[in-house]
Amino acid sequence: MRDQLTPAYVRQLLPNRPADAHKGSFGKVMVVAGSIHFPGAAWLAAAGAARSGAGLVTLAAGQAVRSLAARLPEATLLPVAEGDWGAIGPGAIDELGKALEDYQALLVGPGMGQGEATGQFLQALLGLEQPRLRPRVGFLGVSPADDRPSGSQITLPATVLDADALNLLAALDDWPTRLAPDRFIFTPHPGELRRLLRVSSLPSDPVAVAEEAAERWGQVVLLKGATSVIAAPDGRSLVYDGANPALATAGTGDVLAGIIAGLLAQGLAPYDAAALGVFLHAAAAARVRADLGDAGTLASDLLPELPRAIRALRQIA
């Protein structure tokens, strides 16, 4: 069921901000991101989560990324074990598993790299080291929405898988039948979606392909582009035409992933968090374009505009 993503639709999704609230009222986000080659992605994602209204944001990263902490002094840090070249390695599971019990949202992937050690970390985090289930005998086989293992021994909160997490996942076999359903938001651009689907090209209808992927995988899928599509496993979908050349610059996707994780931490369901995140990201970008123009904008320019976009949305009658 295709609908347009409108201000009236997303306004009702805005989390309440009671006057007597404290930081614990708005949830905690864990961001697992960055590597020696892409340290800024971690900062942009963490800042996006904070600017979306999350009460506390923690960056889990190796030493190469932690040097950027001063750019976001409001975030806390979780030092984790590194693999090669400053990327996150499988040893990070121990520290992360202990910490996640107290978090409402997790973001994995921006700038994380695609090294072997990082791939091992992701497999352990998602529980994909477990042997696959035996297929059912009979006509139906195994459905992607049932008969799955519960995932890793770590209990994951609602989780956004973005960027390199998706690329690493795409290289694994049988992952769709081995992920716990209704726990993840996938945020691919068309190239990442092609890799996940293992096809050379996508059909001409982006809504149909996003809907099919969401149903097949049992997860919310956000297909990013000039026209973005949010699709749920139950067949719902939302379409947003937010074409804006000011967004055609590195790092804007990292900010979007952080926004969505921040909204998850504030209690939104995955489909709603993706929808509101897309709208706020586009609204902030429209404000940047109006101020600075089409060219020369930076992903970080979106960050101060996010609270203003939220305020403007609240004021819509």
293 has pLDDT over 50: yes
291 has pLDDT over 60: yes
Does some domain include residue 100? yes
pLDDT averaged over every residue in the chain: 90
Tell me the per-residue pLDDT of 97-153, one tens digit each, with 9 for 90 and over. 999 999 999 999 999 999 999 999 999 999 997 544 444 433 333 444 444 333 447
Q: Say what the pLDDT of residue 96 is.
A: 94
CATH number for 302: 3.40.1190.20
Which of 44-48, 137-141, 307-311 has the lowest average pLDDT?
Answer: 137-141
Q: Say what the pLDDT of residue 126 is.
A: 95
Arithmetic mean of pLDDT, 263-287: 98
Confidence of residue 83 (pLDDT cuts 50, 70, 90): confident
69 has pLDDT over 80: no
Residue with tokens 């992937």: 109
**Percentage of residues in the chain having pLDDT higher than 90:** 80
Structural domain range at position 233: 2-13+24-126+150-314
Give me the helices (H) in 183-269, please: 190-197, 206-217, 252-265
Does some domain include residue 133? no
Does some domain include residue 142? no
pTM: 0.92
Q: At what angle do helices 206-217 and 190-197 cross, to 10 degrees?
A: 50
Q: How many domains does the chain have?
A: 1
Does some domain include residue 6? yes
Contact 112, 82 (CB under 8 A): no
Contact 183, 159 (CB under 8 A): yes
Does some domain include residue 141? no
Angle at 40 between CA 35 and CA 45, to 5 degrees: 100
Confidence of residue 158 (pLDDT cuts 50, 70, 90): very high
Contact 227, 238 (CB under 8 A): no
* CA atoms of 308 and 314, how far apart (whole Å): 10
Tell me the per-residue pLDDT of 213-256, one tens digit each, with 9 for 90 and over. 999 999 999 999 999 999 999 999 999 998 999 999 999 999 99
Does some domain include residue 143? no
